[in-house]
Amino acid sequence: MPIDRNELRRVMGHFATGVTVITTRSKDGQPYGLTANAFTSVSLDPPLLLVSVDKKAESYPYFEESKVFTVNILADDQEALSRRFAVSGGPKFEGVAYRIGANGAAILDGTLGYIECKLSATYPGGDHTIYLGEVQEAGTVEGKPLLFFRGGYRAIGD
Ligand SMILES: Cc1cc2nc3c(=O)[nH]c(=O)nc-3n(C[C@H](O)[C@H](O)[C@H](O)COP(=O)(O)O)c2cc1C
């Protein structure tokens, strides 16, 4: 019998992660983005990473449409930003400070780092789609990460 979804969520929540906001854009340049922790480094040569995006997310179609996305790694004082981008749809970018990166997706201000990608492959992942991104540009600043563990936001040392 398959595991109950709430139990799966509970168990997976024991794996502590950082928190990202993955941004993408529509063909006409409208920014989209969602909070995500299903993100991992895949390969150094070529430089590849993956993210897993819910097919029901409003941002979902724009990954394929634009073929670009950017992973924004959140800092420990960006819980509010994480919560904002974890709500589906709406004017998420209103009042949020960001610039447009070389790939046309948003790079949010105040993050620990950003990784700009070109979509290089997509793989089926049940109710999600796995997007493999080839890294084009990336950068970091000093700071501490926002963490997610057992369904709650944490900081290092909590
Ligand atoms: C800590 C955290 C991690 C999340 N990780 C993911 C993820 O990896 N992939 C995903 O599709 N949704 C993830 N979500 C849920 C999305 O952020 C949420 O469904 C969001 O509303 C989607 O926005 P959109 O519909 O405007 O695109 C996560 C939410 C939180 C709070």
Contact 25, 66 (CB under 8 A): yes
Predicted confidence (pLDDT) per residue in 80-117, tens digit: 999 999 999 999 999 999 999 999 999 999 999 999 99
Best mutation site among 9, 17, 20, 34 for ligand 1, i.e. most ligand atoms within 8 A of its Cβ?
A: 34
- Residues contacting ligand 1 via CB (< 6 Å): 19, 34-38, 52-54, 57-59, 86-89, 128, 148
pLDDT over 70 percentage in the chain: 100
**Rounded CA separation 122/63 (Å):** 10
CA of 16 to the centre of ligand 1 (A): 16
Predicted confidence band at 23 (pLDDT cuts at 50, 70, 90)?
very high
Q: What is the pTM of this model?
A: 0.98
* Cis peptide, bond prior to residue 46, ω within 30 of zero: yes
